[in-house]
Chain A
Amino acid sequence: MSRALIELQHISKSYDGKPVLDDLELTIHENEFVTLLGPSGCGKTTTLRILGGFETPDEGHVIFDGKDITNVPPNKRQLNMVFQNYALFPHMTIADNIAFGLKIKRKTDKYIQDKISYALNLVGLQGFEKRMPGSLSGGQQQRIAIARAIVNEPHVLLLDEPLGALDLKLRQDMQYELIRLKNELGITFVYVTHDQQEALTMSDTIVVMNQGYIQQMGSPETIYNEPENAFVADFIGDSNLFPATFVRDELIEIDGRPFLCVDKGFGQNTPVDIVIRPEDVIITTPDKGTVTGVVTDLIFQGVHYEICIDVNGREWVCHSTEASLVGTMVGIAVDPFNIQVMNKPESEDEEAAAIEK
């Protein structure tokens, strides 16, 4: 892994006595695309604002490139932010918006002109210099906001749900655009979103947050395939999240029916949570399944059908390219390595503490 660029050390923050972040520890490496992912109120935006210098943590330190910048104001930090609602200056032309930071740094006119055309080129909006922000579409304003940030050559670009206000198609286009930009510029991106699809698509590292704690940190593949607790499993993607009993190594029971798994070391007859992704549920004939159930719902979703199956009163969700008619009896099987076993949290605090192990 490359050099650590930013370290958040024991960051705590509360508003009106309500804790938003509690003893947060996070290291961001050079040239990494890190996404802070979580539901609203999980502390992801506060973390970003602490990085940008718009909030001061109650406790803890922000270390940037080896220096403590906890109390350095935003205008003295070598990072730039792309705001949720773009925050383009409505009284300035696009060129003046992009030039804002450069003029403050007293760059030469020639340098500023070059930078403006370079940045507009990079975001694909050549010839927009004289336009006013109000005359641009949401997607175009977003690109200008990014252009305005990157001309300052920041070490880190902070992005606060930058695609939240765009429609689905534009959002997907912009996702690829951002990945391309990040690779071309070679700078660190810290991205905040509540959209798990966005996080999975773009990130090198995903930090899943909830209630001020980091729930899990890892590559998109790890987060998706090996969620460490029920919250992460539930938040990332659709899932069948069931209570189960860990009978012994490599064997669990779901509602009294035995399933083979690959996990070890959860003890004997221990209550656990398990997660099975809908695309990993195999529908077969009743005689071949580990359990049998009745199809209760069939919904066409484009790429696949979503099929709900009632198994002794518990609903299993399954994604399949083949339809199963409502009311038919089917068998269900799961490959052992597709069952993810997780410790059952006894409280929310423990859920969070599990990460630190």
Chain B
Amino acid sequence: MKNNRRANSFALFGMPYYFWAIAFIIIPLLLVLYYGLTSEAGTISLENVFAIARPAHAKALFLSVLLSVGCTVVCLLLAYPLCLIMVNRQKAQNSFLLFMLIIPMWMNFMLRTYAWQSLLEKHGVLNTFLNTIGLPSLHLINTPGAIIFGMVYDFLPFMILPIYNALQKIDPNLIHAAHDLGAGFWQTLWKVILPLSMPGIISGITMVFVPGLTTFVISALLGGGKVLLIGNVIEQEFTQAYDWHLGSGLSLVLLLFIVINMILSSVFDREGNGGLL
């Protein structure tokens, strides 16, 4: 009786969240599903989903996956050694470093991307500087490289934070124990630190790969419309072509990729994590 009443009051507190989830997550998803799986005539059809096979769409998706994987790899390679260095430093210096890394996150994401645009432009800050010291200009803006650059800059903190947290949770005595049993730096890294920080790596990969896959602002600003990603294609369907059915159909394909990524990461997490959970 008492338990029941408590359960009820919890349900009451849960109401706003239920409302939020239904209104802003479930219903929009169902709408995407509805538009994606129907034709303009209102009949059920998969043509908008299969539209991904059209060369222009397939190319955009392939490029998206490629750039997103590239961005994820670069983020991982940058973040992991940095986090290793940070966890081995004094606490006070550490929080300052972390603070420095997070400061850009508080700035508007669009603003940061615009900043990179003006840095990389043909007559931008970087090229002006190169010219001043007598070096030729570089063609940077409107290339896939510039997009990866922008994505890495924007998403790097999402890789750093989970890895830093995972590394910080490792008991220093485990590392001492590995050294004590004869392991050198690389052996300890490979056999102890890396497996134990796997949950952080996995969640970092997810946090960077998924927004990278779906980005359209970075590619629009730093790709100058010359490099079309799947996010840009979908955006154009909604905002310019007003073809909500096609846009939703392509979104469903992208959703599928994200779901696959989530499943993969949870599988890897379970394996890498072993008895931790």
Q: How many A-B residue pairs have CB under 8 A?
A: 72
The answer to whether residues A91 and B276 also contact, given A52-B180, A75-B180, A100-B178 and a CB cut-off of 8 A, is yes
Query: Is A89 a contact partner of B174 (Cβ separation < 8 A)?
Result: yes
Query: Is B182 a contact partner of A104 (Cβ separation < 8 A)?
Result: yes
Closest to B274 in A: A91
Q: What is the number of residues of chain A that contact chain B, defined by CB distance less than 8 Å?
A: 28
The answer to whether residues A87 and B181 also contact, given A104-B187, A132-B274, A134-B276 and a CB cut-off of 8 A, is no
Of A83, A134, A152, the residue contacting B182 (CB under 8 A) is A152
In the assembly, what is the distance between CA of A54 and CA of B174, in Å? 12
The answer to whether residues A87 and B182 also contact, given A132-B275, A134-B276 and a CB cut-off of 8 A, is no
Cβ of B273 within 8 Å of any chain A Cβ, yes or no, is yes
The answer to whether residues A85 and B171 also contact, given A100-B191, A132-B275, A134-B275 and a CB cut-off of 8 A, is yes
The answer to whether residues A74 and B192 also contact, given A87-B173, A87-B174, A89-B174 and a CB cut-off of 8 A, is no
A92 partner residues in chain B, CB cutoff 8 A: 274
* Interface mask (B236-277 → A, CB under 8 Å = 1, otherwise 0): 000000000000000000000000000000000000111110
The answer to whether residues A105 and B176 also contact, given A87-B171, A92-B274, A135-B275 and a CB cut-off of 8 A, is no
Of B176, B187, B274, the residue contacting A54 (CB under 8 A) is B176
Of A74, A90, A135, A149, the residue contacting B176 (CB under 8 A) is A74
In the assembly, what is the distance between CA of A182 and CA of B187, in Å? 30
In the assembly, what is the distance between CA of A148 and CA of B177, in Å? 10
Query: Is A104 a contact partner of B180 (Cβ separation < 8 A)?
Result: no
B195 partner residues in chain A, CB cutoff 8 A: 91
Of A88, A90, A132, the residue contacting B196 (CB under 8 A) is A90
B177 partner residues in chain A, CB cutoff 8 A: 81, 83, 87-89
* Interface mask (B144-179 → A, CB under 8 Å = 1, otherwise 0): 000000000000000000000000000101101111
Q: How far is the CB of B193 from chain A (nearest CB, A)?
A: 11
Cβ of B42 within 8 Å of any chain A Cβ, yes or no, is no
B191 partner residues in chain A, CB cutoff 8 A: 100
Q: How far is the CB of A155 from chain B (nearest CB, A)?
A: 14
Of B182, B184, B275, the residue contacting A90 (CB under 8 A) is B275
Give residues 131-145 of A contacting B (CB, 8 Å). Answer: 132-135
Cβ of B60 within 8 Å of any chain A Cβ, yes or no, is no
Cβ of B183 within 8 Å of any chain A Cβ, yes or no, is yes
Query: Is B276 a contact partner of A83 (Cβ separation < 8 A)?
Result: no
Cβ of A237 within 8 Å of any chain B Cβ, yes or no, is no
Query: Is A87 a contact partner of B176 (Cβ separation < 8 A)?
Result: yes
Cβ of A345 within 8 Å of any chain B Cβ, yes or no, is no
A135 partner residues in chain B, CB cutoff 8 A: 275
Give residues 88-127 of A contacting B (CB, 8 Å). Answer: 88-92, 100-101, 104-105
B173 partner residues in chain A, CB cutoff 8 A: 83-85, 87
In the assembly, what is the distance between CA of A104 and CA of B177, in Å? 13
In the assembly, what is the distance between CA of A149 and CA of B178, in Å? 11
In the assembly, what is the distance between CA of A89 and CA of B275, in Å? 10
* Interface mask (A141-182 → B, CB under 8 Å = 1, otherwise 0): 000000011001000000000000000000000000000000
Cβ of A336 within 8 Å of any chain B Cβ, yes or no, is no
Interface centre among A84, A104, A134 (most CB of B within 10 A): A104
Interface centre among B176, B178, B181, B196 (most CB of A within 10 A): B181
Closest to B187 in A: A104
In the assembly, what is the distance between CA of A149 and CA of B182, in Å? 11
In the assembly, what is the distance between CA of A350 and CA of B11, in Å? 69
In the assembly, what is the distance between CA of A30 and CA of B187, in Å? 31
A152 partner residues in chain B, CB cutoff 8 A: 181-182
Query: Is B275 a contact partner of A73 (Cβ separation < 8 A)?
Result: no
Q: How far is the CB of B199 from chain A (nearest CB, A)?
A: 11
A83 partner residues in chain B, CB cutoff 8 A: 173, 176-177
In the assembly, what is the distance between CA of A261 and CA of B187, in Å? 63
Q: How far is the CB of B274 from chain A (nearest CB, A)?
A: 4
B275 partner residues in chain A, CB cutoff 8 A: 90-91, 132-135
Interface centre among B179, B184, B195 (most CB of A within 10 A): B179
Interface centre among A52, A85, A89, A132 (most CB of B within 10 A): A89
Interface centre among B180, B183, B195 (most CB of A within 10 A): B180
Query: Is A75 a contact partner of B179 (Cβ separation < 8 A)?
Result: yes
Q: How far is the CB of A65 from chain B (nearest CB, A)?
A: 18
A89 partner residues in chain B, CB cutoff 8 A: 174, 177-178, 192, 196
Cβ of A80 within 8 Å of any chain B Cβ, yes or no, is yes
Query: Is A91 a contact partner of B180 (Cβ separation < 8 A)?
Result: no
In the assembly, what is the distance between CA of A83 and CA of B181, in Å? 12
In the assembly, what is the distance between CA of A135 and CA of B177, in Å? 20
Q: How far is the CB of A152 from chain B (nearest CB, A)?
A: 7
Q: How far is the CB of A332 from chain B (nearest CB, A)?
A: 50
In the assembly, what is the distance between CA of A52 and CA of B180, in Å? 7
Of B171, B183, B274, the residue contacting A100 (CB under 8 A) is B183
- Give the top 5 A-B pairs by smallest Cβ distance, nearest first: A132-B275, A101-B181, A87-B177, A87-B173, A134-B275
List 17 other contacts, CB 8 Å, given A85-B173, A148-B181: A52-B180, A73-B179, A81-B176, A87-B174, A87-B176, A87-B177, A89-B178, A90-B196, A90-B275, A91-B196, A91-B274, A91-B276, A92-B274, A132-B274, A134-B275, A134-B276, A149-B180
| A positions within 8 Å CB-CB of B | 52-54, 73-75, 80-81, 83-85, 87-92, 100-101, 104-105, 132-135, 148-149, 152
Query: Can you name 26 A-B pairs with beta carbons within 8 Å?
Result: A53-B179, A54-B176, A73-B179, A75-B181, A75-B182, A80-B180, A81-B176, A81-B177, A81-B180, A83-B176, A87-B176, A88-B177, A89-B178, A90-B174, A90-B274, A90-B275, A91-B196, A91-B275, A91-B276, A100-B181, A100-B183, A100-B191, A101-B182, A104-B183, A132-B274, A148-B181
